[in-house]
Amino acid sequence: MHSSGVLFAGLTYTGIGYIHRSTNNGLTWDAITLPDYDSNYAVEHIHFNSQGHVFLGTINGVYRSMDIGLSWEKVNSGLNGVHVYSMAIDNQDHIYVLTTQPGLFDGYYLSTDNGDTWEALDWVQDIGYALDIVAADGSTYAISDQTIFVTSDGGQNWSELMDGITAEETFNLGADLELTPTGFLYTAGRYVHRSSQPVFSPTMDIKPVGVPREYSLILFPAYPNPF
């Protein structure tokens, strides 16, 4: 949901080539055409920056709207592969994407100018190809199928965030990372894991001094299904 209350959704089948937008809590939806959308895949990633601009990560690259979704433009300058596999925007409005080309991964890219241009990042040698990335409070988190990584210096140095996860649980760790408004980091796979404490301080709180940069994880059993 956008800060203005507008809802966005990417739909399959007849919704392909459009982004759907609702201004009345989902009672009705408008289909907004995406320019030059020449694919049969739905929009996979929807993100907002602090200025209220909307960014879509799609198989055709990155789309940007600066009027809350009424009009859209492609912003792919500098991207090699344009299939956006994972995407995140941090609190400095830096945009991170991992892209692929047909049949293979491409690499990570960063935009610091609202998507106008992109520069390649050499993260692959440190963290491989992440299944998901999220960013908040100066840190970026990435997850592979067996490891969670964190960097606080823009990817110059990475550390593993695995305390509390056993060797058995790292198998098929998951493909989804989520940061809640209260600052907790979640990952879902065969099990659901949550950081034992917030990894960042919500903006409505007074930020404490000396918050440690090392976190442990708590396991919430979700398999086998008890029902």
**Does the residue 126 lie in any domain?**
no
Would you state the pLDDT for residue 216? 56
* Residue 16: partners with Cβ closer than 8 Å, 6 or more residues away: 37, 39, 40, 41, 42
Q: Is 22 in the same domain as 112? A: yes
Question: How many C-beta atoms lie closer than 10 Å to residue 57's C-beta?
Answer: 25
* Residue 143 confidence class, pLDDT cut points 50, 70, 90: confident
Q: What is the mean predicted confidence (pLDDT) over 97-114?
A: 88
pLDDT of residue 162 exceeding 50: yes
Is residue 172 within 8 Å of 190, Cβ to Cβ? Answer: yes
Task: Tokens for 12, please give them.
Answer: 């399959």
Q: Is 86 in the same domain as 160? A: no
**Does the residue 129 lie in any domain?**
no
Burial (0-12, 13-18, 19+ Cβ within 10 Å), 114: middle
Q: Is 174 in the same domain as 209? A: yes
Enclosing domain of residue 75: 1-121
The pTM of the full predicted model, rounded to 2 decimals, is 0.80
Q: Is 116 in the same domain as 18? A: yes
**Does the residue 196 lie in any domain?**
yes
* Residue 222 confidence class, pLDDT cut points 50, 70, 90: low
pLDDT of residue 156 exceeding 70: yes
* Residue 21 confidence class, pLDDT cut points 50, 70, 90: very high
Q: Which of 121, 148, 164 is the last residue of a domain?
A: 121
Q: How far apart are the C-alpha atoms of 190 and 224, rounded to whole Å?
A: 9
| Cα 107 to Cα 11, 97, 104, 156, 163, distances in angstroms | 26, 8, 10, 16, 28
CATH of the domain at 174: 2.20.25
**Does the residue 103 lie in any domain?**
yes
pLDDT of residue 202 exceeding 80: no
Q: How far apart are the C-alpha atoms of 68 and 129, rounded to whole Å?
A: 31
Task: Work out the angle at residue 80's Cα, subtended by the Cα atoms of residues 78 and 82, and round it to the nearest 5 degrees.
Answer: 100
Would you state the pLDDT for residue 225? 52
Q: Which of 121, 153, 183 is the last residue of a domain?
A: 121
pLDDT of residue 131 exceeding 70: yes
Share of the chain above pLDDT 70, in %: 85
Output the CA torsion 197→200→205→211 (10° steps). 70
pLDDT tens digits for range 60-95: 999 999 999 999 999 999 999 889 999 999 989 999
One-letter amino acid identity for 115? G
Q: Is 100 in the same domain as 144? A: no
- 150 forms beta bridges with 141, 159
| Cα 173 to Cα 132, 144, 167, 191, distances in angstroms | 12, 8, 10, 7
pLDDT of residue 215 exceeding 90: no
pLDDT of residue 148 exceeding 70: yes
**Does the residue 106 lie in any domain?**
yes
